Amino acid sequence: MKTQEYRLYPYRWVALTAFMFVNLMVQLLWVSYSPVTGAAAAFYHVTDLKIGFLAMSFMIVFIPLSIPVSWAIDTFGFRKAVGLGSLLMGIFGLMRGLSGDNYTLVLISTIGIGIGQPFLMNSWTTLPARWFEKEFRATAVGLVTLSGLIGIALGMVFTPMLLNSTGNLATVQLIYGIVAAVSAVLFIILARDNPPTPPCPDGDEVRALVLDGLKNAVQNKMFWLLVFIQFLGMAIFNGLTTWIEPIIRGRNFGSSEAGDLGALMLVGGIVGAIVLPALSDKEHKRKKYLFIGVLLAVPFLIGLTFAHSLPVLFISSFGLGFFLVSASPIAMQFATEITFPTPEGTSNGLLQLFGQASVVFVYLMEAMKTKEGSFTPSLLLAAVLLILCVVVISFLKDPGSSPEADSSEPALSDSEQ
């Protein structure tokens, strides 16, 4: 019987880069109002809450679409599904820029962008599984996560700058929409579903049918623990990202400082998304680094809650981003491994689904504001929830006995081809 050839193709980096670009842009579009909440409310003649709802609408739309989109990814393929999501992002991104100061049209366009988002986010583990060796997959998922973080950081920094230079929020959104459309076209041209030959033995990549895989995932107790962790982690991250400007407004800081603060949190997340998943891959340990990430996020969140000094706020934001954000790609790869042979799009989609349900906490943060506008009660609640996550992580076990962890036949490196 002929031995199957396993190869790693240099083109995997092209496919990954194109995928990272569209993920960068959809996250930039999601966050692009957050650092200028007050100015946006004045521009559209609405309240802060309605501006926050533009970000929350992404999460609300995600919830009913997540499972059908996961089915589409696993049924029709990565390139078609992500290509559709990218086109929706590009088209509605342009429409939002052309909507002027009409809040209703902006909201409709934002919902259109949000419909495209799950096609991208639910594929985060799919491309690494198709193109990369198993020892690098958590790192590859981390790189995709990193692209989204870069998009959020760019939105935090450039939105106040562009608003100051153009004086028109609609112009800023039109610029973003044009770049989003370009990223969509590039993805459609460059993306591929699979390499000519697999990157690993069949036992590491063959997956169950979608419905069977879904049943397998929901019957896995450890998977539900990861769902709980992902839900709380994303709830806190999404809440901080959505309300970053109102959080520090009462401490006599404005949109420029809010943008810098949000960007530093994302820079920390970018560094963390490179470092911790890579260490997790190197040691083949998921629980350990998930525990480290969530536990060490707690003191930095407390710092962000009480600090009135800008340097302390900056340090707290960077540290919180480094540890909290880096836990997400580890959790996603963890879920992929413990639910084998559930398709990657299905397990990833379920995690993302419950993560986006965190919109409840985002709204709760605004509802828990004090009469003076302080977010301290909700930030303290977030710290308690992180401690609860640490307790839950202690019940997890590394997926050392799963088929995906047992392969003894490694894929070839580029230099071995």
- At 50-64, the pLDDT tens digits run 998 898 888 888 888
In eight-state DSSP terms, residue 202 is: G
Q: Which of 93-97, 129-133, 280-284 is least confident? A: 129-133
Tally Cβ neighbours within 10 Å of residue 174: 20
What is the value of pTM for the model shown?
Answer: 0.67
pLDDT for 332 equals 75
- Give which of 185, 176, 160 is closest to 36, Cα–Cα: 160
Q: Is the pLDDT of residue 204 over 60?
A: no
pLDDT for 369 equals 82
- Give which of 262, 263, 289 is closest to 277, Cα–Cα: 289
Q: What values do phi and psi take at 123, rounded to 5?
A: -105, 5
Q: Is the pLDDT of residue 250 over 80?
A: no
Helix ranges restricted to H, 284-413? 287-306, 310-320, 326-338, 344-356, 359-367, 376-393
- Give which of 417, 415, 400 is closest to 134, Cα–Cα: 400
Mean pLDDT of the chain: 80
Cα 148 from Cα 226, distance rounded (Å): 21
Q: Is the pLDDT of residue 15 over 70?
A: yes
Residue type, 144: V
Tally Cβ neighbours within 10 Å of residue 406: 11
Domains of the chain, with CATH numbers?
12-398 (1.20.1250.20)
Q: Are 23 and 151 in contact (CB under 8 A)?
A: yes
Residue range 286-295: mean pLDDT, rounded: 86
Residue range 357-367: mean pLDDT, rounded: 78
Question: In the structure, what pLDDT confidence band is assigned to residue 346 with cuts at 50, 70 and 90?
Answer: low
- At 209-219, the pLDDT tens digits run 445 555 666 66
Cα 267 from Cα 174, distance rounded (Å): 25
Question: In the structure, what pLDDT confidence band is assigned to residue 186 with cuts at 50, 70 and 90?
Answer: very high
Q: What is the 3-state secondary structure (H, E, C) of 303-322?
A: HHHHCCCHHHHHHHHHHHHH
In eight-state DSSP terms, residue 77 is: -
Cα 59 from Cα 225, distance rounded (Å): 21
173 membership: H or E segment, kind and range:
helix 169-190
Q: Are 121 and 352 in contact (CB under 8 A)?
A: yes
* Cis, peptide link before residue 311, omega less than 30° from 0: no
Tokens for 295?
Answer: 């536990």
Tokens for 213?
Answer: 């895989």
15 membership: H or E segment, kind and range:
helix 12-31
Residue range 282-308: mean pLDDT, rounded: 86
Tokens for 72?
Answer: 């589409």
pLDDT for 209 equals 43
pLDDT for 87 equals 95
Show the beta-strand stretches assigned E in 61-140: none
pLDDT for 206 equals 40
Question: In the structure, what pLDDT confidence band is assigned to residue 347 with cuts at 50, 70 and 90?
Answer: low
pLDDT for 199 equals 67
pLDDT for 308 equals 82
> What is the per-residue burial (b if ≥16 Cβ within 10 Å, else e) of 246-269?
bbbbeeebebebbbbbbbbbbbbb
- Give which of 296, 301, 295 is closest to 316, Cα–Cα: 301
